[in-house]
A and B are shown apart, each in its own frame.
Chain A
Amino acid sequence: MRLAWNNIAFDRIRFAVTVLGIAAAVFLMVFQGSILLGFVRAASKVIDSTSAEVWIAGRGVNCFEFPVEIERQVGEIAMSVPGVASTSRICTRAVQFQKANGDQQLVSLIGAESQAGPMFPVPRIAGSASAAEPDTLLIDESNSQSLRIQRVPADVEINNLRARVVGSTTGFSSFLGSPYVFAGYADAARYMQLRPGNTMFVLVRVAPGSTAAVVKDALQKRLPNLDVWTRDEFAMRARSYWLSQTGAGGAILIASILGFFIGLTIVSQSTYATTMENIEEFATLKAIGATNWFIRRVILSQSCMCGVVGYALGVLITGPLVNAASGSIPWVAKTSWVAGFALGPTIVMCVLASLVSVRTALSVEPAKVFRA
């Protein structure tokens, strides 16, 4: 569609402004999309990192971060249910973390038994896959500065009890503002003064030949006063809680949608201005026999050409900016498919933007061409 391209390229300043506007819209959509995706992933990161197929939690618990205490014997009861291979415990609570320089900070302490899963960060004894090293902690690499851990081992205090940071993990940046700190279950229970008869979550591994759904149902029948979820269900519940009930997801989503509408407004205005400027040319096209579809195609092409160029520019600038932002927002998702996903809304934006222009161009009277 040479006519479409020439129409938009003829006025280079308008074209540049349109492309920049779309690029800004794409940036907003992709950047906010990356934050949203990162937020969603971070919201269930702890749950997703365990290898247990079923979670047992207190009634009404929506997410990992806000648990309630349940009786420790739940684990033993669960073991008696057919299909259960093993159980382990996990607990979390906000605790006071005293840095090496004496500063104090609230952190989210997570204590897990080694059976939580091989991917779950637990400070293990060197050479052992199952034994947790006593009085030791792991932190996420992204929090080492805020926790002032320059090198390991580093002596710190948790709730006024001595502990030693012995290493770091990655991918567990907290989206809550208080960093995650990992310990063995026994240490964590001690640091957070969890009553010996209580725990917070019981993780269940399903025996070979059984399915998570069947075991979950059996557990739920056996433990009617508790909530039993498959891991995926609990992860989804946590994401949905953080997204919809805290307002945080909504705010991010609105910023992303705002990007869409900013782009829509810019492309609409530009396409409309170009159409009105060339309205007599559309009358000429109609006079020489162009079908309505031909006219639509010219305007849609104009709009989509601006969209594609603006999209490419937007994606180009977004990549480095997302990378730069990951310094302060470590959980932001850095996946290229978020950028790819934005192409769809960009095209939709361009198609919507051209609707008014198409209507105007189609309504022009072809006999207008005879007026000098």
Chain B
Amino acid sequence: MTLTETGTAGAGARVAGAPSLSVEALNVHYGEGAARVRALTDVSLEFGAGELSLIMGPSGSGKTTLLSILGCLLRADSGRVLVNGADAGLLSEVRRTGLRRRNVGFVFQAFRLFHSLSAFDNVMVAAEVAGGRSDSSRRRALELLESFGLQDKLHLKPSALSGGEKQRVAIARALLPDPPILLADEPTASLDSDAGREISEILLRITQDRRHIAVVVSHDPRWTDFASRKVVLRDGRVVENRRADQ
């Protein structure tokens, strides 16, 4: 699979009712005085439905900061973050949390599973956070885990799962509330190449099938085979932003 082959509807082809995610003139800094570091400078990006965007760049280039801003986990010093049309920067902390819960699913490099819970219960945590367990959420959790080939591992704790299995559980958790936006931070960095490819394929399939927005931060050049857009950051600035078919 090549970058060109996976290209789907881009930002310019936004469909009414489709999810949207964009940042405009974003500036973020850390620290004060002499220790002040600019993490992002004048970053403007738009992500479209059905598009898996890859954000690359060297360490310290601002990738994770950008992902945190997109996921409404951090606030920018200036600029706008529009999540499905809502300006996250203008919302209170409580409303931002609600916006995140309804719209954003996260996949982390370190999986971030709950060590005391089984694979099934790890997925169900998302249902509890979203308002409570229900029969439909149980059914959906089972469907997701089965579709990821984990039907025999439902009752295993994370310590009994392989890296790839853990990441599949984490993706199932992220997908349970069916968020239109999926943000993944180095989702394959802790996996071997086979497991990494498997995870990449799962994320791509979900993005395309459900017309979600997926943003993946990675150092791994193999992701370029799956991404429909590649954004490169350096020193907090966007130095490359091109669609796979460009």
Contact = CB atoms under 8 A, between A and B. Distances in A.
Interface of A: 2-3, 6-7, 9-10, 278, 280-281, 284-292, 294, 366-367, 369-372
B114 A369 contact: no
Interface string B111-133: 01011110001001110111000
A372 B188 CA distance: 12
Nearest to A8: B116
Contacts of A286: 97
Given A370-B64, A372-B186, A285 B117 contact: no
5 contacts: A3-B114, A284-B108, A288-B101, A289-B130, A371-B110
Interface in B88-117: 94, 97-98, 100-102, 104-106, 108-110, 112, 114-117
Nearest to A289: B101
B230 interface: no
B64 to A, nearest CB: 5
Contact of A285 (B125, B185, B189): B125
Given A284-B114, A288-B173, 14 more contacts: A2-B124, A6-B114, A6-B121, A281-B114, A285-B125, A287-B106, A288-B126, A289-B129, A291-B98, A366-B73, A367-B74, A370-B64, A371-B110, A372-B186
B68 interface: yes
A367 B73 contact: yes
Interface in B39-70: 64, 67-68
A349 to B, nearest CB: 24
Nearest to A274: B116
Which of the four size classes fits the interface of chain B?
35 or more
Contacts of B105: 288
B216 to A, nearest CB: 13
Contacts of A287: 71, 73, 100, 106, 112
A294 B129 contact: yes
A286 B100 CA distance: 10
The 3 closest A-B CB pairs, nearest first, are A289-B101, A6-B116, A10-B116
A272 B193 CA distance: 39
A278 B125 CA distance: 15
Indicate the member of A281, A284, A286, A366 with the most B CB atoms within 10 Å. A284
Contacts of A366: 73
B112 A281 contact: yes
Contact of B98 (A7, A284, A285, A289): A289
B54 to A, nearest CB: 16
A9 B109 contact: no
Contacts of B129: 285, 288-290, 294
B106 A288 contact: yes
A6 B112 contact: no
A278 B94 CA distance: 23
Contacts of B115: 10, 278, 281
A7 B121 CA distance: 12
B116 A7 contact: yes
A18 to B, nearest CB: 15
Contacts of B67: 370
Contacts of B104: 289
A369 B74 contact: no
A288 B73 CA distance: 10
Contacts of A278: 115
Contacts of A6: 114, 116-117, 121
Contacts of A288: 100-101, 105-106, 125-126, 129, 173-174
A237 B110 CA distance: 68
A138 B93 CA distance: 75
A369 B173 CA distance: 15
Given A367-B68, A370-B185, A291 B128 contact: no
Nearest to B74: A367
Given A285-B129, A370-B67, A291 B117 contact: no
Given A7-B116, A370-B108, A372-B110, A291 B97 contact: yes
Of listed A3, A7, A289, A367, residue having the most chain B CB within 10 A: A289
A286 B68 CA distance: 13
Contacts of B101: 288-290
A3 B128 contact: yes
Interface in B122-147: 124-126, 128-130
B109 A372 contact: yes
A3 to B, nearest CB: 6
A90 to B, nearest CB: 66
A104 to B, nearest CB: 67
Contacts of A369: 73, 106, 108, 110, 112
Contacts of A3: 114, 116-117, 121, 125, 128
A280 to B, nearest CB: 7
B112 A289 contact: no
